[in-house]
Structure 1
């Protein structure tokens, strides 16, 4: 059974002008940043079972979800033969965002990710970052669970509607939630299998397509206009969002300062290469004017008939399942971190005595995701999901210089350069959004502010211990 953290489990607060609470996540011993052996109470109860492969698979499953199974036709219609080259270009842009995260993971080797990073701006900023990030991730889980049921219905129609659809969603969420509760090591093993199931068919399809069209590969052609790229920027950017899956459970990663940066770089470069060859193969084989609803299934059917379509359908299910599994591994560490710092009820910070995982936070996310998927109420957040993520990325990156100062490090010119490059990418992508998306983001931030103030008010009114005679 999960146990509540003992009253003294919260970390002592290091001196930091102008901030309090979670702004002290970076504790300093002497001159150095807290290392793996210096874990404080909350994270020391979690096992560091995630190595390089597990960390890379977390990022890979966060990035590769349903997007790659829908984007090829859209990009082919908009950009033609140049469309494959958009992926390495945007992969480079994402690296500019990911590298500050890698640096932050080295500074804060604890679970929490953006919650820990934005704590440099104070508890309110930390809470808002965690709040928006958590909502975006739970909504994505619910959306993907619905897509999973839709793809499952191509194998057996009753799974796509009514009781069959509900049963599919519940079974998916329940099984992946249980795997993550019984141990992060088991969750990583499940991710390993799902990654292979979705990665190998995509690679095989791309290689087969390129081989079948050898000699007919299109030249890149003229580059599209900047306005054309900007119009599709959020769509392409969304295909890479999720790389931060590996930084959130840093408290359960072995040697996170070394493991996470290597995993981030390898994953983003590898994913950009995979997207490139898939798109190149698709452009080489498929007619330019067609836009099938499931482009890669249509592509596989063209190459290998119904058997090929079946293989890609299974790959799509594995991709979506892996994305949800990765989310259930990393995202509950957000509520765990918020509760650990007193910004959410302590129930979320409970750690299973048997499995040493944040069981309550995992269970809550699984239940909430299932409810949203079954009711369809997750749609209201879908329009601002990417923008919310960009907001979290930007605020985390902006905290890098302050975080280095808190950690006792001298802020150097390369640090400011790293921060500036990441912020420029985030701002450029965010400003491709329409005002309606910004308005919804502001509403969500206001709701988060109200919850934060309510929690603070409740904490102040909490009576102290009664005196005994």
Structure 2
């Protein structure tokens, strides 16, 4: 009998990493943004996506280089440890809570979309039961092995992306001419739109958490991030271009604009197809979160920052079973209660801090990678972009993040006391 505790194996390739990143970024936003952006920026709105993507590369490129230098699972918890054990715990904890709140928020959006078919699902016990079933189902899908989880994610990705791509291309062909972009907006208007569009890209970092289960992470992770951003930008651009082509003067449902796009293209059948795409998009986003985020507490448990219970690996399926179950319970409780969904507003602010710390951690990475003057310059620019984006957050978001940070301090102190050491 082998008494050696099982360890997570490297089973995630480039395709799986791209899907984790893509589904982390593409969730509810693609189904909510088109009408808002079209109302504010008209025919110029599609061009916001490639423009902001170019600016976002100032963050994404140095970020991807930094994550390549840390081949372990844990994501932000790993990068923060370059500045000390406590910094690693705190950064990982902020990321963990922010993603759990995002899971809860998107789960409630999923219920809202289902409610367009069957209004009763939004009521009381039925709503809570569906949220519990969805959360438990995603947990089980991730418990039975990362390869099975990635196959499900591949199916959800196709159900999400293909209807959107086909609808966008059909709209551009059938509803020509495509409107000219016109004059760009004023700088103040562009800044507001830039922040909104930048928010649509966050989540691409989903793939870095299971780095310890990724094949050749030093090359796979940067390539996957860049490929994911390219695919995401292209999809956003085409969908927004199709929307302003079909609705040049507005008139679509602001809450579900792409359902109206599908209805105009192919009647009730088109609306139903894009409803399925919306649910698949949200399902893929939730599945991607469930696949990645439990690895944060698993990594913390391995390092002694949380009880070893979190690090336990299920021998048969090679998955961090306890961390997956804990995340399902935590995020599912937030989703069912509904009162904590507002925590999702702090997730982007938390990510800006995470991106900046990750970029700054590169010189402290294992092996002390060589950092050229060019890398320093781009990294500094990326950090400035993060600071600018964080400065757009309101006082409530900062207060929320502060409360979460204090909660992290208390948990770290409890974990330290439990192992009989001084923080």
For the aligned pair, the TM-score class normalised by the smaller chain equals over 0.9
**Larger Rg, first or second structure (1 or 2):** 1
1:25 counterpart residue number: none
Write out aligned runs for 1:361-376 (5 A): 361-376=323-338
Aligned equivalent of 2:8, options 19, 43, 46: 46
Q: Which residue of 2 aligns with 1:247?
A: 208
Could you say what the CA RMSD is over the residues aligned between the two structures, in angstroms?
1.8
Stretch of structure 1 that moved more, 309-318 or 247-256: 247-256
CA displacement at 1:453 relative to structure 2: 2.5
2:392 alignment partner in structure 1: 432
Residue in 2 that maps onto 1:408: 368
Secondary structure, counterpart of 2:393 in structure 1: coil
Q: Out of 113, 126, 130, which is 1:168 matched to?
A: 130
Structure 2 portions without partners, runs of 5+? none
Deviation at 1:71, TM superposition (A): 0.2
Give the structure 2 partner of residue 65 of structure 1.
27
> CA distance change for structure 1 residues 4 and 422 in 2, over 3 Å: closer, same or farther?
farther
Aligned mates of 1:123, 1:97 — CA distance in 2: 25
For 2:101, the equivalent position in structure 1 comes to 139
Deviations 1:392-449 (A, max 9, x none): 111111111222xx42333321331232122122111111112222222222212212
Aligned residue pairs total 420
Structure 1 unaligned regions, length at least 5: 7-43, 463-469
SS in 1 for 2:369: coil
- Per the TM alignment, residue 162 of structure 1 is displaced from its structure 2 partner at its CA by 2.2
Alignment of 1:129-278 (within 5 A): 129-214=91-176, 216-278=177-239
After TM superposition, give the deviation of residue 287 of structure 1 in Å: 4.2
2:417 aligned with 1:457: yes
Name 1:319's counterpart in structure 2: 281
| 1:240-389 alignment runs, 5 A limit | 240-290=201-251, 292=253, 293-389=255-351
Task: Give the match for residue 382 of structure 2.
Answer: 422
Using a 3 Å threshold, how does the CA distance of structure 1 residues 242 and 302 change in structure 2: closer, same or farther? same
Deviations 1:128-162 (A, max 9, x none): 11111001100111111111111112222322222
The 1:138–1:401 alpha-carbon spacing in structure 2 relative to 1, beyond 3 Å, is same
* TM-superposed deviation, 1:461: 5.9
CA contact (8 A) 2:38 2:244 kept: yes
Partners in 2 of 1:5 and 1:136 — Cα distance? 34
Cα distance between partner residues in 2 of 1:95 and 1:411: 18
Asked whether the equivalents of residues 233 and 429 of structure 1 are also in contact (C-alpha less than 8 Å), the reply is: no
Q: Is the 8 A contact 2:80 2:88 kept in 1?
A: yes
Residue aligned with 1:185, SS: helix
> In structure 1, what is the Cα distance between the partners aligned to 2:418 and 2:325?
25
- Matching of residue 55 in structure 1 with residue 17 in structure 2: yes
- Name the SS for the 1:460 alignment partner: coil
C-alpha separation between the residues in 1 aligned to 2:43 and 2:4?
56
1:336: Cα distance to partner?
0.8
Contact 1:177/1:328, CA 8 A, preserved across alignment = yes
Aligned to 2:38, what secondary structure does the other structure show?
A: helix
In 2, Cα distance between equivalents of 1:274 and 1:57: 14
**Alpha-carbon distance in structure 1 between the residues aligned to 2:4 and 2:247:** 57
1:227 offset after TM fit, Å? 1.2
Q: In 2 relative to 1, CA 163–58 (structure 1 residues): closer, same or farther, beyond 3 Å? A: same
Moved more, 309-318 or 435-444: 435-444
- 2: CA distance between counterparts of 1:107 and 1:158? 49
Structure 1 position 235, deviation (Å) = 2.1
Equivalent residue, structure 2, for 1:399 = 361
